[in-house]
Structures are given as C-alpha cells and as structure tokens.
Structure 1
Amino acid sequence: MAVELRAVLDDGTGSIRPELEPFAEGLARMRNPRAGISWMARPHVNAMLHRLADPATAITHETLDGMPPWRSVAYLRDLLMLHGVLPSVDRHLMLFERWLRQVLDRIDDSEHRRVVERFALWHVQRRLRQFADRGPVTEKQTQQARAEVRHAIGFLAWLNSRGRALGTCRQADVDAWYGGAYTARGLTHAFLRWATHAKLAGRLHIPHQDTRSPSPISQRQRLDLIRRLITDDAIELPTRVAALLMLLYAQPLTRILRLTTGDVLGTDAKPSIRLGDPPSPVPEPVAGLLRTHLGNQLNLTTATNRNANWLFPGRRGGQPLTSDALQRQLRLHQIPALTGRAAAIRHLVLQAPAPVVARMLGYTHDQTARLAAEAGSPWSRYGPETGPDPAPQNDPEPGLHDS
C-alpha cells in the first residue's frame, strides 16, 4: 500500500506531495488495504490523484469541481476533507451548486436562463444555505431543490410552446399547467410564488389540493412489523435496527442516520438512546440487536470511516449512511417509513402527555400537541412543561409536519 501511495502521489521529487501526506497516512491505515489499492488503480481515480500530486495544481474545492466524473470526485473530496487536506464544506450543498451550474449551462434560451438563475440563486440555493447554517443539508432537501429548479425550467418551456412569456402568463395558463397533473407539478408553486413576488409575473392564483400523507398504518400492523424486525435474520441488521428506532420512537430517517455511538448510553446493562431529554430506554430484545449492531458495524474497514462514530456509518468519508440507501432497503423489505413513523407518534401521544413525548423524542411541543388533538388523546389538554422547545431538527420529511 505504501509503495502504491508513493507512486500515485509523487510530486516529482520521489516523495509524496507534502499537502497530501495526511491523506496518504489515512489510506495507509485502512483495515483492508487491497480495497484501497484497487480504488487507486481505477484509471480516472489514478488520473485525479496524479493531478493533485502535481505541485502546479492547487488543492482546492474549485480544482475538484473541474474534474469528472462527479461521483468519484465527491468520494475523493470527502476523503480529503476527512483527513484535513481540504476545509470542510457541506457536501450536499456543494453537489447542488455543481449540479446547478451544469443545468444552467444547458438552457439555450438566454431569458429563461436568466430567470431560472435568479430563482435558483436567490430562493432555492439561499434556502439550502440557511439549512446548512443549522446543520448538514440532507439528500431530501437537495432533491426538493433540484425538483423546484427543474419545474421552473419545464414551466417556462411549456409557456413558450403556448406563445407566452412569464410576464404575459395568464391565470388560464396556470390552471392548464396544473390541470390533470397537480401532484406531479406541485413543486412549481415555489417558482410561481417567487416570480409573482419579484414582479416577473402578474398576480396569479396558485391552485391548491390536499396532498396530505396517507393515513398511518394500524397499531396492529406496527406491532407486526416490530416483531418481524426483531426475528427476521434475512434483513440486514443495520436496516432492522434503524427501522425499529423509527417504529418505536417515531424518528425520521434523516435524524436516525445522524445518531452517533455516543448517543447510545449504558450498553452493558439497561441501554438508552439520546433522542431528547431524558434519553429513552431501549427494551429487550431490541437492546440486544442494538448491542450486536454496535459490535459489527459495516463500512469501517475502508479509508472513509475507519474511526467513524456514526451509529450507521456510510461509505463516504466522514459521512453516515445516506437516507436514500436506507429507504431502498426499507422498500425492498416492504417496511413503510412514512406511515410507520406516523403510526408510532400517534400511539405515543395516546400513551403519554404530548409535552413529555416532545422532550424525550426531540419534537416540538406544537407538533406533538397537534398530533395528540388529531388522535383524540386523553392527554391533549395536558399543559406544556416549562422550558424551551427542543432545538428544531433539520427534518425535510413530509407527513408529520404537514399532515
């Protein structure tokens, strides 16, 4: 491994470029060096590393932005940030910014490009940066951001096909755009509201339809899923543990994946997990599965997460498992994330006062109070505890906030 690293990171003097030494040391400590050698041998990875080893190349985020392919660049960027070679930035925000530049370059109509760029920079990207100020931007948030930009581009092209521009858009055009495809085009709302506020379009009424999430699964279905997750060894253990945290404690997947091993307390005797204040006890046999998971975590043999403290380590440097990867596993095993989580919080607010549930699970009092009232909880009139709400989570998942 050391020989391969010296060869690929040689700065022309027979030694590794000094700025890349922390990166090389991190790779050299891999528990599975063959995987690292195989990765460096890939032609495009080898080319990227040779370029970074050249003293004439600035080792910056901007340099990486100009390299293809983007997935390999993102992986390399995470490693360089993990080992302190590059300053840390929000990876999802950076990937969105790179995607946006490419999308704008593909818009042929100069006026459309100008409008979409204004919308994307001053509304969509600005919102993502506000998210980044509070915590890591999530995949869900960037997925919605990309969809809003795509809908803006699609709407302007559709208007043009009708012989109209944004400034001459009529209410009949808006109604026709949404007609028969409201759900698919619902994210156009953001662009139309922005365009009206920016006086790029006249006053327009944006149609509204109830798109609330489907009803929660029944309590019996929830308990059946919990039993299945406890006993079904055909499902990967990380998926089982994450799904149980969702079904027992009504946690969004994005928050489950931000948990660290330090959030699991008292693993030897009666474990608990820090979701709010106080930590929530973990009952057997779920506690046994959690202990087994902690002793057999995946993705710790590569350079990316050798010393990671994530409860669910991912494959990218210093990053937890992605919500997309977990959702794919849940769909594969027919475990409903949204309606399962909704069933869990509904059951919990029927069993205890909403303010108590809020503080233990990291919800706000308003969220649990509303859900308690909707569920007909006997505790729905229980007064809130003194003290501030828990800090709001950067939770982009729909359903519990919008239902």
Structure 2
Amino acid sequence: MCRYCYQQAKRTRGTCSCGHDGVLPGRIDGQPACRRCTGVTLNIDCTTCGAEDELYRGTQCWTCELAVLVDQLLINPTTGVMAAELGPVARALKSMKRSNSGVTWIRQPHVTTFLKDLAAAPTITHDQLDDLPGSDRTRTYIRGLLVEHDALPRRDELAVRYHHWSTGALERLSSDEHHDIVRLYIRWHIQRRMNQMETVPRGTFLRSKQTVTVTIDFLNWLHDHGLTLDQLRQEHLDAWLSDGPSTRRFVDRFIPWAIKSRLVDSDLTLARHRRGTSPKLSKPEQDAAVDRVVHTDELTVRDRAAAILVLVFGQHIEDVVELTWDDVAVTNDLVTITLGTTEFALPSPLDQPIRQLAAAPGNYLTAAHPNSTWVFRGNSPGQHIHGSSLRNRLKTIFSTRAARLGTLHELTKLAPVPIIADALGYHPTTIERHAIGSASVYAQYVAAKREHS
C-alpha cells in the first residue's frame, strides 16, 4: 500500500455497516468498513483522550497534540495563567475539525514566536498587538482570530492601515512645503471622507492609496522642475500628463481640491476619463464564457458561483464578494439570491455551485470562521475573499469588467431602465448609459410596445 492510500485509510471516518462510528480503514465490497469487520490491524487509539483517530506521534492523536501546543504557547510563562481574553481563542483552536492543519500552522517559527509574545503581553489590546514584533501578515491573521472570538473589539482595519501607510508615504515628498500640503489633503479630504463611512470599503482604500501616490509623484515632479504648487500653470500640468503612464490622470482627484483650497489657479482643466470606452463581451463571447463556467471544471466551485453572478446578473466583483447567506435561500426545489431589491431564482444548472457551497462553505475546518455568514469566505479570519484575487482567478476565462458591461448592455435591450436598475442594485443613470449604448432607452421600449399593441 502506498503512503497516500495509507494516510487516506487512517483519515476515513463514518459509520460502518455494523453500526460502528469512527475510523473506517478497511473496505468490504468497495465500501469503507471498521477494523473489527475487516480485520485490519491499525493503531488509531489515542491514549490521552481515548478517541479513535489518526495519531500524531506515539499514542497521541493530532487533536490532543494541538491542545498541548495551544496551552504551551498561550499560557503566560510568568504567571502560569492564560489571559481571560485568550480563552475563547484557545478553545476554538483546540476544537478545529482539521487539527493536523492547526498543528502545522502553529509550529511555524514565526507563529510560535508571535503567540508566545502575545501570551506574555501585560494586556490584550489592539495597540499592544501593534507593538509586538513579527510580520504584518502573522499579526493581521492573529488579530482576526482575536476579533472573531471576541478577545478584541472589532475595528476598521483598512482605515487604520491607511493611516499608517499615509504617514510613511509623506516621507517620499522632496519638499517640506509639499509635505504640509499633502498632509492636509490626506487629513481633511481623504480621511475625513473615510470617517464618514461605517467601514472603509477595500475599493476606497486602494483608490485612496493610488490618489496619494500619484499626487506625491506629481509634486515631486514640480519640485524637480523648480516649481511650487502656486506656480503651476496649464502647460506644466499638460506636460506632466503627456510624459508618463496613463495612471497620471488620477491627479484629477487632487487638482480640484487644490483649486477649491486656492492653492492653484482656478483656470486649470483636465480631460476627464471618457465613459463608455471600456471593452465589453459580445453576446457570443458571453455565451461561451457561461458554457465554460457551468460545464467544465476549470474553476473551483466558489469561483464558478461568483462567475455566474457576474456573467448572468452583471454584478460588480466587490458586491459579489460581500454576498452573505442572508441574501441566499437554498431549498430542495429552488435556489434564490437577492440582488438589489429583487429576489432571483437560479435555474438548473446555474444553481449547482451555490448548492455545493451551501453544503460545504469552505474554510470551515479551522478557527477562522466561527460564525461567518459570508458566501465567499476568505482565508483571513472573519473576512470574505478579496475582489482583486477573485478577479485574477476569473481572468483565465473572462475579464470581469468586460463581462459585466456586456451583460448590462444586453439586459438594457430586454427591459426598462428603472426596472433593471432597481432589480440589480444599480443607479438608474448608470443603466441609462448602457441603454443609450445599446440603442434601447426606455422611450424606445415604450414606443415599441405601443407599436405592437
């Protein structure tokens, strides 16, 4: 027997035909069966907890080994007592369904060190966590565990990250005068808007970083050419825009604020990005993409479900990843999804990926998602998957932006603008633009109906 089959035999669990519930390492007539029925000799009895399970080493199972490791790392070495805040996290780690993954994760040197430092900390707070040595990735993951298990209060991590990032970004400015200007721009324009939001969306976080990055590059360019911001003229702005990548046009987010703040000439103008110029999938291309998504295994179940929402309903990736099981209903007869204000029924076979996700939502074998309602769970505790990573995976079959625009373009040929906008959660003006592009505005729809009545 090869190593793989040997491991699988030890990890096969279920109920034998004789009624025994536990590990089923043998087979009878092709069906898994217990040791007693098959005569298989295998040591799978843990002497610590008495359970029948795959053993980690000696006579101790993975679950008991994980429990020992958790206690070793989370008990304060000075007091010999675990902080009350860490109790729920410890219990969640010990009860992981895939305890071997927990042991593998916790035995990584950077995780072990971070958890030891956390256990020895005088208090368990966000500020204390920020001060602990270690990688940001490890810190973020463990912070997520602490938040999900109520050891720490929830906070807007993207807003905090932006504050730290922007503080460092200011150091890239060549001029002290420009440093003060950008600091005011960040504080009174960007962060003020963020403070008005319940939580900062990832898209806002990324756009805000891009805006400041482009602004800094622009002001450094002025400094290199011996110019201050109050000396900026149209020819300088045009020269900078024409002599670089297309991302320079995002300075149009800073210039209006500078004009309003009377830092530059109010006569400055920028060519705005023209809407309606982005490529869109044609109807045959959409049909081909749907066929590949539904009838092939090129994508995982999770990605197939997301792809259907983009291709069929024209949804933004950022809205797709924020879908929760409160928006989805799965019964034996029907699968429905609420988008905007409308509940849509998914016909077969489009409903199959959602059914499979409902049965096995993913990332449920660890302590990362104790009470998560996300349809598209991410690897980070309590978080959904990132839109950017999903977008990149779907790129192997179609561009999500082109697919979404193509879908909206086709839908406007079939129904009135207000109905589509209300149903799919779009602003009517957005759908109106697509309707104009497809030569099917609401007036034309009504005229056609009257003509045939």
TM-score, scaled to structure 1: 0.87
Give 1:121's match in structure 2, choosing from 165, 170, 187: 187
Give 2:89's match in structure 1, choosing from 23, 45, 49: 23
CA contact (8 A) 1:373 1:380 kept: no
- Secondary structure of 1:351 counterpart: coil
Q: Which runs of 5+ in 2 are unaligned?
A: 1-65, 447-453
Distance change in 2, residues 1:382/1:86 (3 Å) = farther
Matches within 5 A, 1:127-146: 127-130=193-196, 132-133=197-198, 136-146=199-209
Distance change in 2, residues 1:121/1:363 (3 Å) = same
What is aligned with 2:412? 349
What is aligned with 2:162? 96
Whole-Å Cα distance in 1 between the matches of residues 79 and 402 of structure 2?
A: 60
What is aligned with 1:59? 124
Q: CA shift at 1:182, angstroms? A: 6.4
Whole-Å Cα distance in 1 between the matches of residues 234 and 341 of structure 2?
A: 50
What is aligned with 1:163? 226
TM-score, scaled to structure 2: 0.78
Whole-Å Cα distance in 2 between the matches of residues 72 and 102 of structure 1?
A: 21
Cα RMSD over matched residues? 2.2
Distance change in 2, residues 1:380/1:311 (3 Å) = farther
Q: Which amino acid aligns with 2:285?
A: Q
Give 1:358's match in structure 2, choosing from 399, 405, 421: 421
Distance change in 2, residues 1:91/1:373 (3 Å) = same
Q: CA shift at 1:116, angstroms? A: 1.7
Distance change in 2, residues 1:380/1:70 (3 Å) = farther
Whole-Å Cα distance in 2 between the matches of residues 378 and 195 of structure 1?
A: 38
What is aligned with 1:247? 311
Whole-Å Cα distance in 1 between the matches of residues 394 and 371 of structure 2?
A: 27
What is aligned with 1:325? 389
Give 1:367's match in structure 2, choosing from 424, 430, 436: 430
Q: CA shift at 1:382, angstroms? A: 6.9
CA contact (8 A) 1:305 1:314 kept: no
2:359 equivalent to 1:311? no
Q: Which amino acid aligns with 1:129?
A: N
Q: Which amino acid aligns with 1:248?
A: V
CA contact (8 A) 1:6 1:15 kept: no
Whole-Å Cα distance in 1 between the matches of residues 338 and 322 of structure 2?
A: 12
Sequence identity (%):
29
Could you report, residue by residue, the CA deviation over 1:100-125 in whole angstroms, capped at 9, with x for unpaired residues?
Answer: 22223454643332222111121122
Whole-Å Cα distance in 2 between the matches of residues 293 and 19 of structure 1?
A: 32
CA contact (8 A) 2:259 2:266 kept: yes
Q: CA shift at 1:138, angstroms? A: 2.9
Give 1:294's match in structure 2, choosing from 358, 365, 370: 358
Give 2:115's match in structure 1, choosing from 35, 38, 49: 49
Whole-Å Cα distance in 2 between the matches of residues 39 and 287 of structure 1?
A: 35
Could you report, residue by residue, the CA deviation over 1:116-164 in whole angstroms, capped at 9, with x for unpaired residues?
Answer: 211112112222333x32xx43332211111111111111111111011
Whole-Å Cα distance in 2 between the matches of residues 339 and 211 of structure 1?
A: 16
2:310 equivalent to 1:237? no
What is aligned with 1:399? none
Give 2:278's match in structure 1, choosing from 194, 214, 220: 214
CA contact (8 A) 2:330 2:355 kept: no
What is aligned with 1:395? none
- Secondary structure of 2:435 counterpart: helix
Whole-Å Cα distance in 1 between the matches of residues 219 and 82 of structure 2?
A: 51
CA contact (8 A) 2:302 2:353 kept: no
Whole-Å Cα distance in 2 between the matches of residues 225 and 353 of structure 1?
A: 26
Larger RCO: Structure 1 or Structure 2 (Cα < 8 Å, ≥ 6 residues apart)? Answer: 1
What is aligned with 1:74? 140
Give 1:86's match in structure 2, choosing from 132, 136, 152: 152
Compare 264-273 and 361-370 and name the one that shifted more.
Answer: 361-370
Whole-Å Cα distance in 2 between the matches of residues 260 and 243 of structure 1?
A: 16
What is aligned with 2:75? 10
Could you report, residue by residue, the CA deviation over 1:260-307 in whole angstroms, capped at 9, with x for unpaired residues?
Answer: 123222431022111133301111111123212322332222221244
What is aligned with 1:36? 102
Q: CA shift at 1:209, angstroms? A: 4.8
- Secondary structure of 1:221 counterpart: helix
Q: CA shift at 1:381, angstroms? A: 6.1
Q: Which amino acid aligns with 2:426?
A: Y
Q: CA shift at 1:84, angstroms? A: 1.1
Compare 333-342 and 196-205 and name the one that shifted more.
Answer: 196-205
Distance change in 2, residues 1:66/1:113 (3 Å) = farther
Q: CA shift at 1:203, angstroms? A: 2.7
Q: Which structure's CA Rg is the greater one?
A: 2
Whole-Å Cα distance in 2 between the matches of residues 252 and 380 of structure 1?
A: 27
- Secondary structure of 1:274 counterpart: strand
Q: CA shift at 1:192, angstroms? A: 1.8
- Secondary structure of 2:342 counterpart: coil
